A and B are shown apart, each in its own frame.
Chain A
Amino acid sequence: MTPAPRIAYVNARLLDPASGLDGPGALLTEGAAVADLGPRLFADGVPDGVREVDCAGHCLAPGLVDMRVHLPRLDENFSDGRAAAAGGVTTMVCLPNMSPVIDTAATVEFVRRRAGRVGAINLLPYGALTKGLAGERLAELGLLAEAGAVAFTDGIRALADAAMMRRALAYASRFDRLVVQHPEEPRLAADGAMNEGELATRLGLVGIPAAAEVILLERDLRLVALTGARYHAAHLSTAAAVDAMRRAKAQGLPVSCDTAPPYFTLNENEVGEYRTFAKLSPPLRGETDRAAIVDGLADGTIDAIASDHTPRHPDSKRLPFAQAASGIVGLETLLPLALGLHHKDRLSLLDLVATLTSRPADLLGLAAGRLAPGAPADLVLFDPGAAWVVDTDAFHSRAKNAPYDGLPVQGRVLRTVVAGTPVFPFDR
Chain B
Amino acid sequence: MNAAPKSIRFSHRHLLGIEGLSRDEILGLLDLAETYIAEDAAPARRRDILSGKTVINLFFESSTRTRTSFELAGKRLGADVVNMPVEASAIKKGETLIDTAMTLNAMRPHVLVVRHSDSGAVKLLSEKVECAVINAGDGSHEHPTQALLDALAIRRRRGSLEGLRVAICGDVLHSRVARSNTLLLNTMGAQVRLIAPPTLLPPAAERLGVDIFHDMDEGLEDCDIVMMLRLQTERMHGAFVPSSEEYYHFYGLTERKLAAAKPDALIMHPGPMNRGVEIASAVADDIERSLIHQQVEMGVAVRMACLDLLARPPAEKRRPMSPAR
Contacts and interface: CB of A to CB of B under 8 A. Distances in A.
Interface stretch (B47-55, B200-208, B293-301): B200-208
A203 B141 contact: yes
B118 A201 contact: no
A315 B203 contact: no
Contacts of B203: 196-198, 200-201, 207, 209
Contact of B140 (A204, A274, A323): A204
Nearest to A207: B203
A276 to B, nearest CB: 9
21 contacts: A196-B203, A196-B204, A197-B203, A197-B204, A198-B204, A201-B202, A201-B205, A204-B119, A204-B120, A204-B139, A204-B141, A205-B140, A207-B203, A209-B203, A315-B96, A318-B96, A319-B97, A320-B119, A320-B120, A321-B120, A322-B119
Contacts of A202: 19, 179, 208
B208 A319 contact: no
B143 to A, nearest CB: 10
A318 B140 CA distance: 20
A161 interface: no
A345 interface: no
B21 to A, nearest CB: 15
A201 B96 contact: no
A74 B139 CA distance: 37
B192 to A, nearest CB: 14
A205 B119 CA distance: 6
Given A197-B204, A320-B139, 11 more contacts: A197-B203, A198-B207, A201-B204, A204-B120, A274-B119, A315-B96, A318-B98, A320-B97, A320-B120, A320-B121, A322-B118
Nearest to A318: B98
Contacts of B140: 204-205
A273 interface: yes
Nearest to A323: B118
Contacts of A205: 119-120, 139-141
Interface string A178-215: 00000000000000000011101111110101000000
B176 interface: yes
A198 B204 CA distance: 5
Nearest to B119: A204
Cβ-closest 6 pairs across A and B: A204-B141, A320-B118, A274-B120, A204-B119, A204-B140, A320-B121
Contacts of B120: 203-205, 273-274, 320-322
B123 interface: yes
Given A202-B179, A204-B179, A274-B124, A321 B204 contact: no
Interface string B140-171: 11100000000000000000000000000000
A197 B202 CA distance: 8
B61 to A, nearest CB: 12
Contacts of B138: 204
B303 interface: no
User: B98, B116, B141 — which one has the most chain A CB atoms within 10 A of its CB?
Assistant: B141
Given A203-B141, A322-B118, A274 B97 contact: no
Nearest to B120: A274
B275 to A, nearest CB: 27
Contacts of B139: 204-205, 320, 322
Interface in B121-146: 121, 123-124, 138-142
A405 B116 CA distance: 30
User: A201, A315, A319 — which one has the most chain B CB atoms within 10 A of its CB?
Assistant: A201
A356 B208 CA distance: 42
Contacts of A197: 203-204
Contacts of B205: 201
A319 B96 CA distance: 8
A93 B207 CA distance: 42
A234 B141 CA distance: 32
B116 A320 contact: yes
A321 B97 contact: no
A198 B201 CA distance: 12
A208 to B, nearest CB: 10
Nearest to B205: A201
A383 B117 CA distance: 49
Contacts of B116: 320
A209 B208 CA distance: 18
User: B96, B118, B141 — which one has the most chain A CB atoms within 10 A of its CB?
Assistant: B118
A205 B140 CA distance: 7
Contacts of B97: 319-320
Contacts of A320: 97, 116, 118-121, 124, 139
Contacts of A273: 120, 123
A213 to B, nearest CB: 16
A256 B270 CA distance: 53
Interface string B84-126: 0000000000001110000000000000000010111101100
Contacts of B141: 203-205
B212 to A, nearest CB: 12
Interface in A313-329: 315, 318-323
Interface string A199-236: 01111110101000000000000000000000000000
User: A196, A200, A204, A321 — which one has the most chain B CB atoms within 10 A of its CB?
Assistant: A204
Nearest to B116: A320
A254 to B, nearest CB: 35
A320 B203 CA distance: 21
B142 A204 contact: yes
Nearest to B16: A273
Interface string A287-327: 00000000000000000000000000001001111110000
Contacts of B121: 320
A299 to B, nearest CB: 30
Interface string A261-281: 000000000000110000000
Contacts of A203: 119-120, 141
A240 to B, nearest CB: 16
B207 A201 contact: yes
Nearest to A322: B118
